Amino acid sequence: MKIEDLLSPDLMIMDLKATTQKEAIKEMADLEVAQGVVNNEDEFIKSIWARENESTTGIGEGIAMPHARNKYINRAAVLFAKSPKGIDYNALDGQPVHLFFMITAPAGADNTHLQALAKLSSLLINPDVVNALKAAKSPEEVIDIFKLAEAEKDAQDKADAEARKAAASKKDSTPDDKKKPLIVGVTACINGIAHTYMAQEALIKAGKKMGVDVRIETNGSEGVKDKLTPEEIKEAKGVIIASDKKVDMPRFNGKEVVIKPVVDGINHPKELIEDILENKAPIYHADSSASSSDDSGKEKQGVWATIYKHLMSGISHMLPFIIGGGILMAISFIVENYFAGGANNPAFIFLNNAGNMAFAFMVPVLAAYIAESIGDLPALMPGFVGGFMATVYGGAYGGTYTASVMGAKTASPSGFLGGLAAGFLAGYIMVLLKKIFAKLPKSVEGMKPMLLYPILGLLIIALLMYYIVNPIFSGINLAITHFLNSMGTANLAILTTVLAAMMAIDMGGPFNKAAYVFASGAFANDPKSVTAAILMAAVMVGGMVPPFATAIGTTFFKNKYTKEERRAGVSNWVLGFSFITEGAIPFAVADPGRVIPSCMIGSGIAGALVGIWHVGVPAPHGGFWVSPLATNIWGYFLSVIIGSILAGVIMSRWKKPVSEDPDE
């Protein structure tokens, strides 16, 4: 496919009226919709802004390349727009933007479209092309400029390929002092349809001017292209990584490596090459057991952000065990309560055992993947064993405690809290071991992943769990369990109100996850606990209210919602019924000031009713599908209905009417 196939006079704005970045994106998106390129303008604009928030697409030199690849796009295309006066687009060089290329690709775009988009992106590195486009007066002239530039690039690429082939055939006979230095690299950006290929072209061109051979591998939307060979990496003087996402790093062990964002590859290719030539780049040391992706050189996260990332890694791997095991256990209770045979029913025995087996893995998996997130693959096994010890062993003192809050000696594993501690300990133990053994001779390199890390990692985590973590956290776990089970109605209602409201703050984000993990942790520690079932019911109703509230609003207050929001509202009836809070996220993103407070109020009221009416649901997921398990089934339904109606009415009364016809 040629670039001209992606360009159309109907997708060009030769005199952009917008004066701000927001107006420019909206004006271009309007044309995309009018020409049938985009099928959902609101969602498309959100995806454009999501990319801008990661890093500006105003690459400098008066150019911006807003781009997206998702299901809201019907076909691959390039919209060209020109602003003679220039627009402040938050460009990297701080200068106004005059030329805009809004690049779109559908989620299932084929390689021919993606290759054409990649080639167009690489042409924008050519200053002659940019200057010609700035002077262009008509859409036809813009297309002719790209046709000519593409033909010249194709010819140049062919000549370069033949030159590389000829050089490869005679390189063995060329004296070392006559060979050009070779620098290899990788370019990658999040969407992989623009910056990836611009950085590749910029680095190659800069290398030619400096008398350096530059070979760049791209990790774009087509996958890995121009993959570097082991021979090229071995021969290279150094490596340039211009990337906004993870790339395969261990293969560069022992080489000088510069790691920068992809925009630096576009705007500062000469400086990156000079860093390699002048030996300013640090030597990259990859542990032999490291994973194939590496974040080295990336901007360091804050302490809490790092902890949250590791915690979410563990929780994301743990959730299938909670949900799968919990739902099967819930179904088994339905069988026990409503079918003949009760606890002796074969279906109950099978389902309950299967659910319990999945639950048994919950804490070990949590600990294992927290550890793996911190210390890579070698930390997985110590984390897993530490998590298992948290569920089984009380510790060096037998797990027996006498405390006034409990009033009696009781044996208990350290449970969910002990698993958290095990995961972080195992991860950082492995980080420490890697540093300790970093200076070992290369001749014994293979001993580290096969012998040293497993044995020492297991020994240290076992000692810590047995003598420190389990003895401490067993007592804490028992105290928390006792406290929850002894709560009066008033205190319980306060707790359920807070948990339910937290579910609506960010609808799947840190607050939502914190509330869910707290309740599911209590449930995992004691699945038969009445209080744990009430906490699970609280987070369940808290998560069901937002989608139901938006469904109610879009059904009964149509003049307050756009056509697209009304369509989304229909699906939220089903999502709310199934405890899928994320259905309300588009509404919250579009109008956070009204939607989020309204949902928090509704969810909080629903949670309070759960605590007051002692509604318990001994299942970690399922929404109304698991309502037969509720200890107060009518209270379960009513708390959700009341909270949802309240949130939907507040939200809709608060919103302003939209301008479009609600009946169209």
What pLDDT is attached to residue 112? 55
- pLDDT tens string 580-624: 787 787 787 678 888 889 999 999 999 999 999 999 988 777 788
Helix/strand number for the chain, H first, E second: 24, 15
What pLDDT is attached to residue 443? 66
- Sign of the alpha-carbon dihedral angle for 407, 411, 416, 419: positive
Q: Within its chain, how far is the Cα of 421 from the centroid?
A: 24
| Separation CA 84–CA 98 (nearest Å) | 6
DSSP code string of 578-617:
TT-GGGGHHHHHH-HHHHHHHHHHHHHHHHHHHHHHT---
Cα radius of gyration (the chain): 30
The pair of structure tokens assigned to 381 is 């096994």
* Residue 380, number of CB atoms within 10 A of its CB: 20
Residues with Cβ < 8 Å from 327, sequence gap 6 or more? 355, 619, 620, 621, 622, 626
Active site residues: 67, 189
- pLDDT tens string 504-551: 887 766 677 778 878 877 776 666 778 888 988 999 999 999 999 999
Minimum mean pLDDT among 24-28, 67-71, 315-319, 506-510: which range? 506-510
Confidence of residue 350 (pLDDT cuts 50, 70, 90): very high
- Where in 75-170 does DSSP place strands (E)? 77-87, 97-106
- pLDDT tens string 34-47: 988 898 898 899 98
Q: Which amino acid is at 315?
A: I
Minimum mean pLDDT among 10-19, 129-138, 233-242, 298-307: which range? 298-307
State the average pLDDT for the chain: 80
Minimum mean pLDDT among 12-21, 86-95, 228-237, 502-511: which range? 502-511
| Separation CA 619–CA 77 (nearest Å) | 48
Give the three-state DSSP class for 486: coil
- Sign of the alpha-carbon dihedral angle for 259, 264, 266, 267: negative
- Where in 195-282 does DSSP place strands (E)? 213-220, 223-225, 238-243, 247-248, 256-260
Is pLDDT at 492 greater than 60 in this prediction? yes
Is pLDDT at 291 greater than 50 in this prediction? no
pTM of the shown model = 0.50
End-to-end Cα separation, the chain, in angstroms: 39
What pLDDT is attached to residue 117? 58
Q: With beta carbons less than 8 A apart as the criterion, state whether 49 and 22 touch.
A: no
| Separation CA 173–CA 180 (nearest Å) | 14
